[in-house]
Amino acid sequence: MPRARISQLSLALVGLAALLGVWLLLATRYTVEQLPGPLQVARAWLELLREGGLLAHIRISLARFGAAYALALLTALPLGLVLGWSTRGLQALNPAIQVLRPISPIAWFPLAVLWFGVGNAPAVFIIFLSAFFPMLLATVSGVRDVPPGYLRVAANFGTRRLRLFRSVILPAAFPTIVVGMRIAVGTAWIHLVAGEMLGAQTGLGFLIVDARNFLRTD
């Protein structure tokens, strides 16, 4: 293993050890219900694994995440490509996008319950919202930021619009689109747990709420 890699790994281990040390120190100042220590948390994990509940909740959460992320992908990318290509379309929809985009997905909780009831649907809706706008804006930005020189060269060769879009626009915008997709993964995962706290009876968010109700902070 290269020396630089060993040094990087060592620093990471030192950072984790420091975090555990601070955690242990703070845990001595509170009760187990207020702040459990690493050992209590490890025992709770083993208990959940023996009961089989943790893996089941993880699978359900990943299924919800996958469904919501795929839905965001299938709607945000085509819409972003169209808006990035069509100036008039962007001018028409951009005000609505800029009004809705800053609203926290968590603020949609009351409407999500009213629209979809209690269960999987509101959780999927919240996760979808959190992934949709980063993907949409990154796709629009990627298409509109294609260097004009690429378009002029394609025009000089008489490239038709469909081939121009497929062979020039998409490859040039692809790196920016991927960045938006990666950001969307992070924001969607953050709101996954929050969405599952919205009346769901399964998943990691439900598991957190259920543990809180029993004062099982471990």
pLDDT digits (tens, 9 = 90+) for 38-88: 888 888 888 888 877 788 888 988 999 999 999 999 999 999 999 988 889
Is residue 66 domain-resident?
yes
Is residue 38 domain-resident?
no
Give the count of domains, the chain: 1
Is residue 34 domain-resident?
no
Residue type, 96: A
Q: What is the pTM of this model?
A: 0.82
Q: How far apart are CA 177 and CA 157, in angstroms?
A: 26
Max Cα–Cα distance, the chain, nearest Å: 74
Is residue 1 domain-resident?
no
Q: How far apart are CA 14 and CA 193, in angstroms?
A: 29
Choose between 72 and 173: higher pLDDT: 72
| Whether pLDDT at 166 is above 80 | no
Cβ within 8 Å of residue 24, ≥6 positions away = 37, 38
Q: How far apart are CA 123 and CA 78, in angstroms?
A: 23
Is residue 13 domain-resident?
no
Is residue 93 domain-resident?
yes
Is residue 2 domain-resident?
no
Percentage helix, strand, coil for the chain under 3-state DSSP, each rounded to 5? 80, 0, 20
Q: What is the span of the domain harbouring residue 202?
A: 51-213
Quote the DSSP letter at residue 168: I
CATH number for the domain harbouring residue 144: 1.10.3720.10
pLDDT digits (tens, 9 = 90+) for 100-129: 999 988 889 888 888 888 778 888 999 999
Is residue 24 domain-resident?
no
pLDDT digits (tens, 9 = 90+) for 84-103: 888 898 889 889 999 999 99
